[in-house]
Amino acid sequence: MEHDPGGSIAMVGCLEDDVKVSLDEIAEPGTDARAVLEQLEPSRLPVHVAIIMDGNGRWATARNLPRVEGHRAGISAVRQTIETAARLGIDVVTLYAFSTENWKRPRHEVLTLMGLLKEYIKRELKTFLKHDLRFRPIGRIDLLDRSVRRELDRAVEATSSCRGSLIQIALNYSGRQELTDVMRSAAREAAAGTLRPDDLDEVWIEDHLTTRGQPDPDLLIRTSGEQRISNFLLWQLAYSEIYFSPVLWPDFDQEEFLKALLAFQCRERRFGGLPQSGSVFTPPKDEHGKT
Ligand code: FPP
């Protein structure tokens, strides 16, 4: 990593460009995590990292523990990932904590997950404030239990004026449901005469997603060796780099997260074009001037 002799890096995405975070504040000297950190190029970090935290159940089963113990152990990986991302100045981290399909799990597991989430938010609020992190849940939050909503609202309110990284937790989330909701809004506006078919474009759709105003994820990480998107951020992931880690989520520590960032920096992002293309065509437009 290019850093000054004093061992600090300019934070990326931070409000003040001259804020420096010491490498020692991110990873202890002499550790494997530090060795990976030192290979990172600070100016080429992803702005938005999305994560599918998978493998909690298998982690617990391998230790003859109930599945819920895997979720409990996964909280430490959540904490390490968020703190590292915040210190590196990554603008947005979106964690997939509970999908609409997860309701199909045994009642005890669902209730434990919701309980862990409440506990986590209560306990981590101080850390969010310390690191100036803004908290935001996405998904059908209105359908969650009142006690869960109360903790979520409290964290949103308490961190609303924070200006550091945005931490998004996807809860009762489904990418298809999100797109269906956008289509419904469009149909409603069209029926009311406030949306003409030609006004419905990518910008309109992005303005009606739960992630409106945010950049799309540059990097999607999925742990546990599974290689699927599982109904996560279907629109937003169109051009994300995907990193599949064989590591089960509870074992996904700071070093593993930094390794994912390093792998991202080795990718060449072309967005459908070619590297360093010179003269290019202007995309053809239809009779309404749309591409
Ligand atoms: C997938 O592993 C993981 C989940 C469905 C829940 C993730 C939740 C946590 C990490 C803890 C709470 C979250 C926060 C944000 C505090 P799995 O159960 O599908 O694992 P398996 O594929 O091995 O069965």
Tens digit of each residue's pLDDT (9 = 90 or more) over 113-171: 999 999 999 999 999 999 999 999 999 999 999 999 999 999 999 999 999 999 999 99
Ligand 1: which of 53, 76, 125, 231 to mutate, judged by most atoms within 8 Å of the beta carbon?
53
CA 159 to centroid of chain Cα atoms: 17
Residues 220 and 53: their CA atoms lie apart, in Å, by: 11
The DSSP secondary-structure symbol of 142 reads G
Diameter over CA atoms, the chain:
64
pLDDT band at 277 (very low <50, low <70, confident <90, very high): low
Give the per-residue pLDDT at 278: 65
Average pLDDT of span 93-109: 97
Q: How many other CB atoms are found less than 10 A from the CB of residue 132?
A: 15
Instruction: Give strand pairing partners of 10.
Output: 20
Residues 64 and 56: their CA atoms lie apart, in Å, by: 13
For residue 75 and ligand 1, the question of a CB distance below 6 A is answered with yes
For residue 71 and ligand 1, the question of a CB distance below 6 A is answered with yes
Among the listed residues 18, 24, 32, 54, the single catalytic one is 54
Residues 82 and 93: their CA atoms lie apart, in Å, by: 7
- Between 7 and 221, the more confident residue is 221
Average pLDDT of span 215-238: 98
What 3-state class would DSSP assign to 165? coil
What 3-state class would DSSP assign to 62? coil
Per residue in 176-194, pLDDT tens? 999 999 999 999 999 999 9
Average pLDDT of span 197-212: 96
For ligand 1, the distance from its centroid to the CA atom of residue 53, given in whole angstroms, is: 6
pLDDT at 51 over 90: yes
pLDDT at 2 over 60: no
Residue 198 bears catalytic tag: no
Euclidean distance between the first and final Cα of the chain, in Å? Answer: 40
Give the per-residue pLDDT at 270: 72
Q: Looking at the domain covering 47-265, what would its CATH class be?
A: alpha beta
Residues 255 and 21: their CA atoms lie apart, in Å, by: 18
Task: List the structure tokens of 280.
Answer: 């290019």
Give the per-residue pLDDT at 16: 36
pLDDT at 282 over 90: no
The DSSP secondary-structure symbol of 250 reads G
For ligand 1, the distance from its centroid to the CA atom of residue 74, given in whole angstroms, is: 7
pLDDT at 52 over 80: yes
Helices (H), the chain: 23-26, 32-37, 56-61, 67-88, 107-130, 146-158, 175-191, 202-207, 254-265
Per residue in 24-41, pLDDT tens? 999 999 999 999 999 999
**What are the structural domain ranges in the chain?**
47-265
Residue 231 bears catalytic tag: no
The DSSP secondary-structure symbol of 290 reads -
Pick from 173, 201, 182: which is nearest to 51 by CA?
173
Lowest-pLDDT choice from 3-7, 169-173, 260-264, 277-281: 3-7
Task: List the structure tokens of 42.
Answer: 């600070």
3-state secondary structure 232-249: CCCCCCCCCEEEECCCCH
For ligand 1, the distance from its centroid to the CA atom of residue 72, given in whole angstroms, is: 9
Among the listed residues 4, 18, 102, 172, the single catalytic one is 102
Q: pTM of the entire structure?
A: 0.90
Mean pLDDT of the chain: 91
Q: Are 152 and 121 in contact (CB under 8 A)?
A: yes
Burial class (CB in 10 A: 0-12, 13-18, 19+), 116: middle
For residue 169 and ligand 1, the question of a CB distance below 6 A is answered with yes
